[in-house]
Structure 1
């Protein structure tokens, strides 16, 4: 975790160029060893409008903490000594925030300088501006002001510097987080193919995928195959645009005025140029967390990840701001001091409640973030929503999967539908339904300021916001609207079935399912089945060997990861193999009368359960994980007891979340697809009853 918050600094910065000098690094520090960071505070997009008409994206709250705080925390952990924040829109707000933050204190781990770039309309413009100012003196870390990351950076930087020492043409290292294709923090509208040399991780080709155009092939220069014998074509990365760059990078932007985007212009251009001779590498992260809040979809996903502690040690109760007082409670509930909760209200799992907020009788809040000083009336229902500071929600209102910004008022009995945005100080009258495709704001030009009574009601105050600029300029606007909203348009997602179960019991089920969804030939299907079965056998044997020989957990995880990449297997198969091995071990301990069921489960899963943290990434994965355990337990003596205690143990370890367990039990049809699956789950209702009782007691 980064350093604990101190008091906010009292010195105000002047507009324009601003530097904190008190904590300047000693002069004797080797300039080449100091790490600069460039933070792009502007996204050069309109996806968060109308919110960003009044507040820069980097200062929007995520779990009641400005996004920029998460970025600075990452830079502190990465060992950065000098930060340059490039400001475009709302530069005055950003400068004021930094000047009054702990990062301007003498105890800050780095100096901060803000640079105005008011004319820039793209990343390329910002880089050219930096090059013209001559501020880059060494290799630097390039990030946006909207990242959440806990990746240790020592090895990433050391590998980059080692490559640079050998070859000055190695100008960039992209940090990419490995993830399943449907991981919730992947930006749906922005996907790409990376072609990497498997031996060196040199990126030899980059190409964006346009989902709407149903891209089925890419074109590679034949020369690539002459220079690189082993290539991997990868589409399983979360790309947060965290890059280590050499000082050549800004200069190359200056030389190429058509470079606007860092990936589709710069990286693609460098890799396809016959003249420049520059090389770009990837550093692939398989553990830890890295994500960027680049759309409303990822805002929702990253918020859930922070609440669920995937980002540890960066969690709400780490209290990144000096005046925060969050405390963690069971079920991923975080409460600040000074909140007032009526006796009959319910604060359910995965919820954050800020200081000074009052919640009245009968209100139920689930999976949501509530800001400070909010007033929430009686019998209100809030689910998967983001309520910022100083919001008033009157009696009987319903808010689902929406963002309600500072100072807004939601009238009694109104319904804000999933996907809606109610911007700053908008007032919704009583009995109004705000459709999910609506974005309401008060921030319009004087000539447009006529209250839209159809949208906000006769006594409301606000207007429907419509942004034509992105629709006109972006060829994939429809795709972005469908893919990057707060509620993802599931019709545009080609999701795979929640698949098969255990390694040994369900191979026929796997094959029949693949025949239903595959368009490949019978020979291809047979080959895929053979490869998959081979992986499952080898992976299960690997875990069994690790357990029997008491290997280090990291070594066991590394062996599984290496095998998965070698066999091009999916995380589903990794989970299936690991479950088969561990449940098999539990079953052996029980059947040999070594331990009773509960003790056997706890003995194995307390030691080896953390393996699943590297295999289970979102709610869909958790449901698949539960189905795999359930299926495996159908063929075990005392399978019902094993399933019950396994769920409890994995829940205590925060590997399984309450929401996923409830969805699996009450909504997933595969849980009861045959009599064996139903029978093995017969003890689970007892545990669910305990969970509900415990939650009610904690609320009271």
Structure 2
């Protein structure tokens, strides 16, 4: 029998040789994009004139995936027909695409349980949705996932997350996520889903999260595209826990809080690649503009992902197909895409809009922020702003469609009509029940109680209303926030929500600060003066905490725990902590005997500096703080070079960080005293360079 470690290596090699599998969930099991999604599958909605699922399949193809299971619950025939007639199911395609029909499923949990019942998953697999947009190759994330499994046999999932500030445009306005992680291992130890409204002012974690960990990170600066690398155990866990319906709120939260299962989940955080999900109408608009602005390069219109397209890239982010007819007097502003065989009439103006194939735009038409799909006709003297017009829509002469409207397939509107903001129009009446209810029930109940009907020289057009899922306690205001072009000024926020916010976080609150926090729950400081005030108060409290730890001679672990708790409760940053900690430590050095005092201070508290310093950029920031504080007083200037050398010898600051600081503009463009201190460090820099050259010669 071979040694144990050899058997483990053989098993890992066998696993890596197996075909890499992927699962695409084409249904989100919510009612976004209604009434359009009632007739068009979400995964086939065009984004920059390309069906959404094409982007997802492209990402899997470049990641060397071999087997792809496309799980369909609604619109099965339409999705099946599209894929069977696409290159993805041809014999020469590198992907082996299989359609899995799950018409009875009502949630993500049901779909994954169905996969387990059919025993389709045989190895690690990528779990994603049919509305994922990314230019990322997953090889490094997959390699990291497999490496973790070799050291942690309980590891079952790696969640790919994208760094994005709470105000980043690709983040959903209606909800957010709190990830609590061990920064040393990237293990996720707690997850909390946070809806924008009603405001959530605290999270609760088990004390076990803090056991055996010197530090944790609570992050709300991560965008979650729900792109996961899962082990073969994941479907079985869904089967064992039949009440798990949601991937994050139920599965991830359940795994992390279970004392019985003993499974672990990790994160893989990226900053450079583009990853986002078209999970609602707001993000549909945002991601479309990102593609036009080339954020997702090389995924841009002139790549011509769809056969027959011949887009040309022009100045101002204008993408025009070769077979487009533009009148001489029409004006095409920036950020515009125009599909094949489209005609735009005299004196029409188009800006920040995407127009599909075979469209006719009449004379004197204004399109601003409009998403016009294929085969749409817009008559003369119409104006359409920040709205979606689905396939084969006709807008008759003189009609105005205001912000945030969704017009479903084949609808005819006009003449001389004015469609109010946030209208949802369809030729079909809105069903009383969920879109996942039985079709016969919809037929019996659908035509009753239709309060708003648009009539004219066309078939009756029904107004649909926004609603939250029947089985969720979702605040309807979150549905509004995720809709297209929604203006937060139209949002109703109760007085008690504002006052509760003020009393719980101990800060003044007004309409502006409350609305500002909607885009990032737990970003409690607001913006502008409120943010500056919060930062000042947090630094005062951190200074008191550090001074108390020094005076009472606490252990480094105790001091770090107090700092972490205060940082979490005040939504502070490690940057602010370092801005306070470094000057305090330098001020503790006795100038009468600087060398022994310096060694005493940093021998005791150097580990605390390390605990609040996590990257090379953080180390550079430490050096900037030392330079700035030592330059503030002539007596402290004598400590600068000694402190620099000591931190280097103690491995608190690395050589690369010192070089980066020395070459940075910040170190060279400060006050005269700061520049003088940098000059003092030149000999030390030369010594580092000479030592590196000697090491290179020895090799």
For normalisation by structure 1, the TM-score amounts to 0.68
> Corresponding residue for 2:561?
none
- The DSSP-based 3-state class of the residue aligned with 2:409 is coil
2:83 is aligned with 1:98: yes
2:501 is aligned with 1:480: no
Candidates 16, 22, 25, aligned match of 1:37? 22
> Corresponding residue for 1:195?
180
Residues 61-140 of structure 1 mapped to structure 2, 5 A cutoff: 61-140=46-125
Preserved CA contact (<8 Å) 1:308 1:332? yes
CA offsets, 1:116-142, max 9 Å, x none? 111101000001000000000000000
Partners of 2:573 and 2:215 lie apart in 1 by 24
Partners of 1:57 and 1:566 lie apart in 2 by 46
Candidates 231, 244, 250, aligned match of 1:259? 244
Partners of 2:252 and 2:574 lie apart in 1 by 38
Deviation at 1:288, TM superposition (A): 1.1
Tell which deviates more after alignment, 511-520 or 357-366.
511-520
Deviation at 1:494, TM superposition (A): 2.9
Residues 423-438 of structure 1 mapped to structure 2, 5 A cutoff: 423-438=408-423
Partners of 2:164 and 2:456 lie apart in 1 by 48
RMSD: 3.4
Partners of 1:160 and 1:229 lie apart in 2 by 24
CA offsets, 1:119-172, max 9 Å, x none? 101000001000000000000000000000111211100000011122221000
CA offsets, 1:306-340, max 9 Å, x none? 11110111111111111111111111110112110
- The DSSP-based 3-state class of the residue aligned with 1:352 is strand
Candidates 199, 222, 235, aligned match of 2:220? 235
> Corresponding residue for 2:468?
470
Residues 186-225 of structure 1 mapped to structure 2, 5 A cutoff: 186-225=171-210
Runs of 4+ in 1 over 4 A off after TM superposition: 28-32, 445-455, 510-522, 524-536, 563-569
Deviation at 1:211, TM superposition (A): 2.3
> Corresponding residue for 2:610?
none
Residues 163-202 of structure 1 mapped to structure 2, 5 A cutoff: 163-202=148-187
C-alpha spacing 1:345/1:468, structure 2 compared with 1 (3 Å)? closer
Residues 570-585 of structure 1 mapped to structure 2, 5 A cutoff: none
CA offsets, 1:550-583, max 9 Å, x none? xxxxxxxxxx9936678999xxx9xxxxxxxxxx
C-alpha spacing 1:513/1:122, structure 2 compared with 1 (3 Å)? closer
> Corresponding residue for 2:516?
495
2:305 is aligned with 1:320: yes
- The DSSP-based 3-state class of the residue aligned with 2:515 is coil
Preserved CA contact (<8 Å) 1:511 1:529? no
Candidates 373, 376, 399, aligned match of 1:391? 376
2:139 is aligned with 1:154: yes
Preserved CA contact (<8 Å) 1:451 1:461? no
C-alpha spacing 1:566/1:149, structure 2 compared with 1 (3 Å)? farther
The higher radius of gyration belongs to 2
Deviation at 1:470, TM superposition (A): 2.8
> Corresponding residue for 1:551?
none
C-alpha spacing 1:165/1:516, structure 2 compared with 1 (3 Å)? closer
> Corresponding residue for 2:509?
none
Partners of 2:267 and 2:539 lie apart in 1 by 37
C-alpha spacing 1:169/1:323, structure 2 compared with 1 (3 Å)? same
> Corresponding residue for 2:569?
none
Partners of 1:226 and 1:87 lie apart in 2 by 43
For normalisation by structure 2, the TM-score amounts to 0.68
- In the alignment, structure 2 segments of 5+ residues that lack a partner are 1-12, 430-441, 492-513, 519-526, 545-571, 583-612, 625-668, 670-699
2:335 is aligned with 1:350: yes
Candidates 383, 390, 411, aligned match of 1:405? 390
Deviation at 1:228, TM superposition (A): 2.0
Aligned length: 514
C-alpha spacing 1:161/1:488, structure 2 compared with 1 (3 Å)? same
CA offsets, 1:182-206, max 9 Å, x none? 1111112221100000001100000
2:362 is aligned with 1:309: no
Preserved CA contact (<8 Å) 1:50 1:465? no
- In the alignment, structure 1 segments of 5+ residues that lack a partner are 1-27, 498-509, 539-559, 574-632, 634-700
Residues 548-587 of structure 1 mapped to structure 2, 5 A cutoff: 562=615
> Corresponding residue for 1:461?
459
Preserved CA contact (<8 Å) 2:197 2:475? no
Partners of 2:247 and 2:443 lie apart in 1 by 37
- The DSSP-based 3-state class of the residue aligned with 1:263 is helix
